[in-house]
Amino acid sequence: MRKCLTLLIACTFAMACDHRPESLSPSPAAETNAAPFTDLPHPLPMSTSPGLTETDLRTRIRILADDAFQGRAPGTEIGERTADWIAAELERIGVTPAGSHDDWYQTVSMTEQTLDPVASEFRISTGPMLEGEPLSLGEDLVMWTKQQGSSELQLTESELVFVGYGIVAPEYDWDDYAGLDVTGKTVVMLVNDPGYARGDNLFKGRAMTYYGRWTYKYEEATRQGAAGALIIHETAPAAYGWNVVENSWSGPQASLILEDEGSHRPIVEGWLSYNAAEELFATAGLDLERLKEAAARPGFRPVDMGELTASANLVQDIAIKSSRNVLGQLIGSQRPDEYVLVTAHWDHLGKKTAQRTGGRTEDFYRDQIYNGAVDNATGTSALLEIAEALAATPLERSVLFLAPTLEESGLLGSAYYAEHPTIPLTSIVAGLNIDGLIPLGPTHDMVVVGYGSSELEEILEDVLSQKGRHIVPDQKPEAGYFYRSDHISLAKKGVPMLYPDNGIDARDGGVAAGDAATLAYRAQAYHKPMDEYDDDWDLSGMIEDISAMHDVVRHLAMTDAWPTWYPGNEFEAVRQNSLADARR
């Protein structure tokens, strides 16, 4: 590899801080006859210890991030071998199957829809007789469709309307669609929510609510009957650059199979670059900056975009595929029907053709494999480390290990599990999710994403205090990270979930070093081919974090307490109602 994350972080630190089992056969869902694991750098069987060690963690991360898995793309022959490898590891270390049919897997049926960028186009017209130039796919616009019933779809002269943030939130007395019928129209929306824009106590202030998530905005546009739905991208409120939009929403896109083949969804969904949006609004005689200010004020009303209409032709390849959640369990001796949940997604973005970035082809890497070493080979390896340690000691409660698929496609694997749980969700005492640990080295703290949510934070605080460490809140609540990983699928069903992350106050370099490492990863490696494993990674801090997570899980597995959401949390009522129903 020409460059690595470790060298990048090391250079950033210097500038910023001046511091220096037996193999399992692949399941039918994998659709492969290849011999599993024989071409990996460390094929099974391996030898690891019940202790939480850097050596074992390093071995697992190295394997999961190896080119042999081709970026762990769900539904592909090679990517699905990741699920087999994880199942084999769980079996080897003493965990038993907990899948839908008493095996290791829960099959998640999906469609894979791939837009043909040559045959497809999106065009803005300024009147019924004036046909404008098509927007450049990738540079100006990234688009797709969730409609699964046809390989070719058309959007014809759909009126454009600006709907502010595209939010309907009765509890905040907010309705961006008030008095508006958008049937057949294309809605254009801002990213995030009004609280971020204003920075005051509107909504949750700078902390993003679920209404700020792109998933919600497309869902609401669907409920409103829109024919098209476009979000205007901005790096700060989105918390990622346009390159992430290009990489994440181009190429094959996975969706759960919908009963009506997605016919209720908009014909076109997508993202507009900010430059393209400014030109679009100017063409309509509108000032985007002024409309942004108006959209953040209570009482905002939608704005028709004059004679502008959108037309699109989408040509797509549709493939029906399946991927798999991996499920294992350790059965408790005293309360076997009560479970503690540990989750970490196994998938990543696979292998892609060279992506356009700023109008240039990205050719820095010898390959275009999105290995996902940090995201989420680290989390999956941490799950296996915790499982192996817990398997060596008696437990009073059971522990369920869930490695979901399709997280990168919109949390689809965990969403499927939440709708089709293998055990009642009311039997899950609480859960912990692990996603993307940066190899920073030891820190004085640990971040809790979504800080202030549940009593699980108090357990983690007690664990950390015994080691002279402490909790800090997520430093960018406006980015909405709490809504961007698999735990949210369970949280929306009421299950208390803890989402801990590595700290930011590095013992060598302080907060400046931690911030630099996080910024370097997000700018240079997140959802890019540069997210690769390196032997020079310092995993000592990661082991300390995983040890704290293990202690939280073990504490929950050895008590009879049922941690709850804090009063006023958006998921508190769901949990109370579900537990009350289960006890009747």
Q: Is the same domain home to 165 and 276?
A: yes
Whether the per-residue pLDDT at 21 is higher than 80: the answer is: no
CATH number for the domain including 253?
A: 3.50.30.30
Number of structural domains in the chain: 2
Q: Is the same domain home to 442 and 342?
A: yes
Q: Is the same domain home to 387 and 483?
A: yes
Of 318, 350, 369, which residue constitutes the final position of a domain? Answer: 318
* β-pairing verdict for 105-115 and 141-144: unpaired
Whether the per-residue pLDDT at 179 is higher than 70: the answer is: yes
The predicted pLDDT at position 39 comes to 60
Whether the per-residue pLDDT at 362 is higher than 50: the answer is: no
**pLDDT tens digit sequence for 456-490:** 999 999 999 999 999 999 988 888 889 989 999 99
> Average pLDDT of the chain?
89
Whether the per-residue pLDDT at 10 is higher than 50: the answer is: no
519-533: average pLDDT: 92
Whether the per-residue pLDDT at 9 is higher than 60: the answer is: no
Among 114-118, 388-392, 472-476, name the one with the lowest average pLDDT: 472-476
Q: Is the same domain home to 281 and 177?
A: yes
Among 236-245, 270-279, 448-457, name the one with the lowest average pLDDT: 236-245
Q: Is the same domain home to 293 and 207?
A: yes
CATH number for the domain including 67?
A: 3.40.630.10
Band (pLDDT 50/70/90 cuts) for residue 313 is: very high
Band (pLDDT 50/70/90 cuts) for residue 40 is: low
Among 253-257, 280-284, 323-327, name the one with the lowest average pLDDT: 253-257
Q: Which residues contact 432 (CB under 8 A, 6 or more apart)?
A: 340, 341, 342, 343, 456, 487, 497, 498, 499, 500, 549, 552, 553
DSSP 481-496: GGGSSTHHHHHTTT--
Of 294, 318, 342, which residue constitutes the final position of a domain? Answer: 318
- Token pair, residue 472, equals 């800090």
The predicted pLDDT at position 456 comes to 98
Q: Is the same domain home to 31 and 129?
A: no
How much is the CA Rg of the chain, to the nearest whole Å? 24
Q: Is the same domain home to 388 and 313?
A: no
Tell me phi and psi for residue 19, to 5 degrees: -125, 130
Q: Is the same domain home to 232 and 193?
A: yes
Whether the per-residue pLDDT at 208 is higher than 60: the answer is: yes
Band (pLDDT 50/70/90 cuts) for residue 240 is: confident
Predicted model pTM: 0.81
Q: Is the same domain home to 160 and 269?
A: yes
Does any domain span residue 265?
Answer: yes
Does any domain span residue 75?
Answer: yes
Q: Is 433 helix (H, G, I), strand (E, B) or coil?
A: strand
Of 288, 318, 348, which residue constitutes the final position of a domain? Answer: 318
The predicted pLDDT at position 29 comes to 38
- The span from the CA of 482 to the CA of 460, in Å, is 17
10 Å CB burial of residue 100 (0-12, 13-18, 19+) is: middle
Give the residue numbers spanning the domain of 214.
113-318
The predicted pLDDT at position 365 comes to 52
90-115: average pLDDT: 94
Among 135-149, 353-367, 454-468, name the one with the lowest average pLDDT: 353-367
- The span from the CA of 271 to the CA of 218, in Å, is 11
Whether the per-residue pLDDT at 3 is higher than 70: the answer is: no
The fraction of the chain above a pLDDT of 90, given in percent, is 76
Band (pLDDT 50/70/90 cuts) for residue 254 is: confident
The predicted pLDDT at position 550 comes to 98
Whether the per-residue pLDDT at 155 is higher than 50: the answer is: yes
The predicted pLDDT at position 42 comes to 55
10 Å CB burial of residue 6 (0-12, 13-18, 19+) is: middle
553-573: average pLDDT: 94
Whether the per-residue pLDDT at 355 is higher than 90: the answer is: no
The predicted pLDDT at position 205 comes to 87
Band (pLDDT 50/70/90 cuts) for residue 127 is: low
Q: Is the same domain home to 266 and 302?
A: yes
Residue bearing the bigger pLDDT, 298 or 259: 298
Band (pLDDT 50/70/90 cuts) for residue 366 is: low
